[in-house]
């Protein structure tokens, strides 16, 4: 029998966690005095400081919005974030209701963790049909858990990971922290900051004019899917940005996530495999302030929309890139999702050991996805502030693996294993009811409370492709 064990590790305070994120922006730290952070306990059972990650990343993004509004002629304002509310927002997709009922479960029936023939574990992500079919083709088995489990007994975990990744599939072998630290990809990330801002071109300083909201008039193109990137766009929309989300009818999506993250956005279709649609996107880019993309490194550059190309079309652009494992190292081109990065980087193994279990244990929320989304929004707003002061075009880089590195550095709270889940009453207090293109929407409202410019979404959540691919007045 495995015995539960919690390795001692000092936890980083809420305020210090926000300060570390703020340091990455290159901005003065005076706005840190505007913070009001409520709560310090562990929230949800975990041996990691997931609650600190939620509270700190949401607070830092809210602080950036408040700072931008001051730069636009507004006054300093408080930014208050309740710890438990922040954690609930990090699980927003779990609490979503449409016409009083939860959306359909998005998880494919063979997604999950399996033991391989060498005794090690592998995690499969098969929620998109082409990923599911690709995995089944490699295994040569039927679409059911028993068949997949039997087929994987004929593989070593890392061999299957390598074979699947070579064919563009998304799987991860479970590693311990020691194994991850010895991996060449971990070495490539070791010297990188939590996220980065890099000046990539010249442009004159562009101060934002006075406005009622922090991001009023700021145009954002959102070319992302699933959770992290769409959370970034949703956050920017909550502070007043005009967000146009671009997808394609040819790309798979997860309906529940679309409903949850589309609040405040217009959703349009463009097919970037078509020359005419690339011309249309280029025209949109010419009037864009922030370009957010979650394609694997090099994916959009191959279509003419890499950061340098975007800066040449629109000098002064803030280009935000999301990747799974970072832009350096042997896994720079590797596809991935939150659950897989948790597995590969050691979190599932560490949680399994802490709880005394015998199978991979995921974190109690998609921490890497949600935190990365708020770090993208933080980076975008910091880059807008630096563009206003210094000029230039800017590239913000965020990766799930670097966010994982940050989470790991926040420590292991001693009370984490005994934490309990939310009550129904708590969740009800954080719900917001609104009309949407899907029905009556009940969803978690934003946890960052800005005293002078409250976050809100004036546009309802709408289906993909429901708006024209054009900027609106």
pLDDT digits (tens, 9 = 90+) for 98-157: 999 999 888 899 999 999 999 999 999 999 999 999 999 999 999 999 999 999 999 999
Q: Give me the CATH number covering residue 26.
A: 3.40.50.10540
Closest CA to 471 of 242, 289, 234: 242
pTM comes to 0.96
Would 86 be classed as within a structural domain?
yes
pLDDT for 5 beyond 60? no
Query: In this structure, are residues 334 and 324 in contact, taking their beta carbons and an 8 Å threshold?
Result: yes
Phi-psi region of 173 (alpha: psi -120 to 50; beta: other; left: phi over 0): beta
Give the strand order in the sheet containing 441-444.
97-98, 441-444, 431-434
Q: What is the dihedral of CA 280, 214, 446, 37, to 10 degrees?
A: 140
Tokens of 302: 């191959």
Residue 355 forms part of a structural domain: no
pLDDT band at 2 (very low <50, low <70, confident <90, very high): very low
Is residue 380 a contact partner of residue 232, using CB atoms and an 8 Å limit?
yes
3-state SS, residue 243: strand
List, edge to edge, every strand of the sheet that includes 265-269.
Answer: 196-201, 393-399, 318-323, 290-293, 219-223, 242-247, 265-269
| Coil vs helix vs strand at 23 | helix
Structural domain includes residue 171? no
The structural domain count of the chain equals 1
Supply the angle between the helices 50-71 and 14-23 in degrees, to the nearest 10.
Answer: 50
Residue 415 placed within a domain:
yes
Q: What is the pLDDT of residues 169-195, one digit of tens each?
A: 999 999 999 999 999 999 999 989 999
Classify residue 457: in a domain, yes or no: no
Question: Sign of torsion, CA 162 163 167 168?
Answer: negative
Task: Decide if 351 is inside a domain.
Answer: no
295 located within any domain: yes
Structural domain range at position 197: 14-104+188-328+363-450
Instruction: Flag the least confident range among 104-108, 220-224, 242-246, 453-457.
Output: 104-108
The answer to whether residue 33 is domain-embedded is yes
pLDDT averaged over every residue in the chain:
95
Q: Which residues pair with 318 in a beta bridge?
A: 290, 394
- The C-alpha atoms of residue 343 and residue 340 are separated, in whole angstroms, by 5
């Amino acid at each position: 029998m495995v015995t539960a064990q919690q390795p001692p590790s000092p936890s980083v305070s809420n305020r210090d966690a926000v300060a570390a994120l703020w340091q990455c922006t290159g901005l003065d730290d005076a706005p840190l005095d505007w913070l009001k952070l409520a709560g310090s306990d562990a929230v949800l059972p975990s041996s990691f400081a997931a609650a600190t990650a939620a509270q700190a990343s949401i607070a830092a993004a809210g602080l950036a919005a408040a700072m931008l509004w001051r730069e636009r002629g507004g006054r300093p304002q408080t930014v208050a974030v309740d710890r438990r509310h922040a954690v609930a927002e990090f699980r927003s997709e779990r609490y979503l209701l449409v016409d009083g009922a939860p959306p359909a479960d998005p998880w494919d029936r063979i997604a999950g963790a399996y033991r391989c023939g060498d005794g090690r574990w592998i995690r499969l992500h098969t929620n998109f049909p082409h990923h599911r079919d690709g995995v089944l083709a490699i295994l040569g088995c039927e679409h059911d858990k028993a068949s997949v489990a039997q087929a994987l007994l004929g593989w070593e975990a890392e061999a299957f990971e390598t074979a699947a990744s070579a064919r563009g599939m998304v799987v991860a072998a479970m590693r311990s922290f020691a194994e991850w630290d010895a991996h060449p990809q971990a070495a490539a990330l070791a010297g990188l900051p939590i996220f980065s801002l890099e000046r990539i071109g010249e442009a004159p300083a562009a101060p934002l004019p006075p406005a009622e909201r922090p991001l009023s008039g700021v145009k954002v193109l959102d070319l992302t899917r699933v959770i992290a990137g769409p959370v970034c766009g949703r956050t920017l929309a909550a502070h007043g940005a005009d967000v146009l989300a671009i997808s394609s009818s040819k790309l798979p999506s997860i309906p529940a996530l679309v409903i949850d993250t589309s609040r405040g956005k217009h959703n349009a279709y463009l097919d970037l495999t078509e020359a005419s649609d690339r011309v249309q996107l280029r025209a949109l880019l010419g009037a864009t302030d922030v370009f957010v993309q979650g394609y694997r490194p090099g994916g959009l550059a191959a279509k003419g929309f890499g950061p340098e190309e975007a800066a040449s079309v629109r000098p002064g652009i803030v280009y935000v890139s999301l990747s799974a494992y970072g832009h350096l190292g042997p896994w720079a081109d590797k596809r991935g999702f939150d659950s897989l990065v948790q597995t590969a980087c050691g979190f599932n193994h560490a949680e399994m050991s802490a709880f005394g279990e015998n199978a991979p244990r995921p974190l109690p929320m998609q921490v890497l996805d949600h935190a990365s989304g708020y770090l993208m929004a933080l980076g975008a707003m910091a880059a807008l502030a630096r563009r206003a002061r210094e000029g230039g075009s800017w590239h913000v880089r965020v990766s799930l693996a670097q966010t994982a590195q940050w989470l790991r550095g926040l420590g292991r709270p001693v009370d984490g294993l005994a934490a309990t889940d939310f009550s129904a009453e708590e969740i009800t207090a954080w719900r917001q009811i609104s009309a949407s293109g899907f029905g009556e929407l009940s969803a978690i409202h934003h946890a960052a409370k800005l005293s002078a410019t409250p976050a809100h979404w004036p546009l309802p959540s709408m289906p993909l492709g429901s708006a024209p691919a054009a900027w609106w007045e």
